Structure formats: structure tokens, C-alpha cells
Amino acid sequence: MSLQRAALWAIVIAASTYLLVAGRGLLLPIVLGFTLWYMVDSLADVFEEPRIAGVHLPRPIALLAAVLAMGGLVWIVGRTISRNVTAVVATAPAYEGRLQKLIDRGASMLGMEQAPTISELFDRISLADTLGSIATAAASIVSVAGIVLIYAGFLFVEQVQFRRKLAIIFEGRAHQARLQSVLQQIDRDIRVYVRIKTTLAVITSGLAYAVMAWVGVDFAGFWAVMVFFFYYIPTIGSILAIVAPALLTLVQFDHLTPFLIVLFVFGTIQVVTANVVEPAIMGRSLNLSPLVVIVSLMVWGTIWGVVGMFLCVPITVVLLIVLAQFETTRPIAILLSADGRIPELRTHGEP
């Protein structure tokens, strides 16, 4: 019987993985729409609390404030990126000269008689194909963004009736209480994750900007924004947040001192925050195994790309809580946890 059950689970996992990969184009806008809805709704809950400005905002006003705040953040990020892309294009010739010097130095260290030039490296790239790919990607992003906004809008409309539908489906009082406890546990853990991640991302990006501005790195504001978003990607994001600004510093300056300062000072900040501070704060809250987080990052990154990397931890949190509710899947939940303890839900009426 156990062998049959294992085979059945293997079939279910394989079929689910195939559907997630094959239906990526359909599922990703829905997932992103749900993510956007959840972020705006959570931000509206914060604005609605009486402790904000000492007043209790009505739900419609809090929701409008959340939408405006989210839209303003997107506008600021987009404007920062567009300005820096224009500046990079303007300073490209200077970077090209310094990059050629680095290539020459590397070639001499490797014993090469003649180093390849940048033009020779880029001659192998078809400019027409590159521009076509960029244009296609830009059009795809714009179209997906529109679909995501439509899904998020309809989720706000559906939100009013969703709880009533669940109450009809689960007519028994015990089932309703259990379902509500599961949803509350998921909501609580994801909000803890987002709150801690966002706070540490703001602190890390602020310190990164201070270090890069002190050294004189070009586009320090742009890289600070990138560091903020990189922080939401476990492990790999921390590496990218260190390597990318450091490489720019290496190309920008003719000596190694600024590069070493950015690499070691900001690298130390990033490593300590991501590997010491964050686990100490978040470990007791989510109770996820570090190995499970890495595997989840690889799996969801392979299935859904960058979006999967951003969402891998929330998805794993949901799986842990849901799997812990059933006797047959509880061992899997225990394996996903950091110390073997799984969430015990309290239903209404319990002390």
C-alpha cells in the first residue's frame, strides 16, 4: 500500500510540474495579479489601522492610499531605471576604454600575445537580432503588465464574495473554523516574511548607496534600487547584489581601491544581513529549512524564472502550512521545517 501511495505521489508531482511549466504563459500573469492584489490589500490594512496618523481610515480611502503608494513606488523605480539607462548609454565610450584595458591586462596575465578587442567580441553579436529580441521582450512586458492589472482588479471585486463562497462550500462549523485558521496562518506568516524582507532590503540598499556614493561609483541610486530587489531572491540575490556593483566599480576606476572597498565593505554588510541578521529574526517565524529554501529557489526558478525566485519562499510557506493539516502529508511538512516543528492551528473558541 505504501509503495502504491509513493507511486501515486510521484505521478501527482510529475503531472503538477508539467502543468506548471507548460502553462507558464497562462499561470504567471494570474500569479503576479494575485501577488499585486495581496500587496495592495496588505498595505491597505496597514493604512486602515488607527495607529497610522492616529486616525482610523475607512476601507475605501485606505485602499485608494495603498494603490497610490504602490503606483508611486513603481513610477519612482521606473524613472530611476530609465534615467540611468540613458546615462549608461552616454558614458559607454569611457567604459569601453577601461574595459579594453582590463581585457589587455587579463590577456597578459594569461600569457596571450594579443588580446581580443571589444569590437571583435561584439562583432559576433547580430545587432538586428539583439534589438529585435529587446523589442519583443519590451512588448511582452507591457502586455503582461496590462493583464496583471486586469487580474488584480477583478480579484478586488471577487474579494467581497470569496469568503461567502468558502462558507457555502464548507458548511460544517468545524471545517469553516479550520479553513479560516489555515488562511489566517498563511496570511500571518507571509506578512511576517514580507515585512522582515522589506525592512532589511531598505536598510541594506540604504547602506549600499552610502558606500557607493562615498566611493564615487556611478549610478549609485540605480544600484541601490537593484540591491533592494535582489534582496528578495534568497542566496543568489545576495551574490548578485555584491558582484554587480563591484564589477561596475572595477570598470569605472583605473585603480583597485574603490573596487576593494565596495567588494569587502558592502559584501560584509550583505553577508551579515542575509546570513546572520535575517535568519535570527525570521527563523523562528517561518521555521523553514535552509536546504529547503535553496531547493525551492532552484525548482521555482527553473519553472517560472525570476518570478519563481521572488515567490519561492512564500510558496514554500503555503505548502508547509497546508501539508501540515493532513495526516498523510504531515511527514513532508516536517521535512520542510527547520527543526521538525510544524504549525499547530487554533480554531475559534480555543484558548
pLDDT tens sequence across 282-291: 756 677 778 8
Per-residue DSSP letter, 325: T
Looking at the fold, whether 66 and 175 belong to one and the same domain comes out as no
pTM for the full model? 0.75
Least confidently predicted of 12-26, 59-73, 333-347: 333-347
User: Are residues 136 and 238 both part of a single domain?
Assistant: no
Residues 51-60 have pLDDT tens digits of: 555 667 777 8
From 145, 167, 189, give the residue that closes a domain: 167
Q: Do 163 and 180 share a structural domain?
A: no
User: Does residue 12 belong to any structural domain of this protein?
Assistant: no
Q: Are residues 176 and 283 in the same domain?
A: yes
Residue labelled with grid coordinates 546570513: 275
C-alpha cell read off for 54: 492616529
Q: Is residue 269 part of a domain?
A: yes
- Could you tell me the residue range of the domain that residue 111 belongs to? 23-167
The top-scoring range by mean pLDDT among 153-157, 167-171, 260-264 is: 260-264
Q: Residue type for 228, please? A: F
Alpha helices in the chain (DSSP H): 2-22, 24-48, 59-109, 118-123, 127-169, 173-215, 220-230, 236-252, 257-261, 267-272, 278-286, 290-323, 330-336
Q: What does the CA dihedral 71, 72, 73, 78 come to, rounded to 10 degrees? A: 90
Q: Is residue 6 part of a domain?
A: no
Whether 235 and 329 share a structural domain? yes
Residue 43 lies inside a defined structural domain of this protein: yes
Residue range 254-269, pLDDT digits in tens: 777 888 888 888 888 8
- Select the highest-mean-pLDDT range: 94-108, 294-308, 322-336: 294-308
Residue 296 CB: number of other CB atoms within 10 A?
Answer: 23
Q: How confident is the model at residue 185 (pLDDT cuts 50, 70, 90)?
A: confident
Backbone angles phi, psi at 337, to 5 degrees: -75, 165
Q: Give the tens place of pLDDT for each residue, 214-248.
A: 988 888 888 888 888 888 888 788 888 888 888 88
Q: On the CB side of 129, how many CA atoms lie within 13 Å of its CA?
A: 5
At residue 40, the pLDDT reads: 87
* pLDDT for residue 127: 44
Instruction: Output the pLDDT for position 348.
Output: 41
What are the grid coordinates assigned to 317, written together?
510557506
What's the mean pLDDT when you consider all of the chain?
Answer: 77
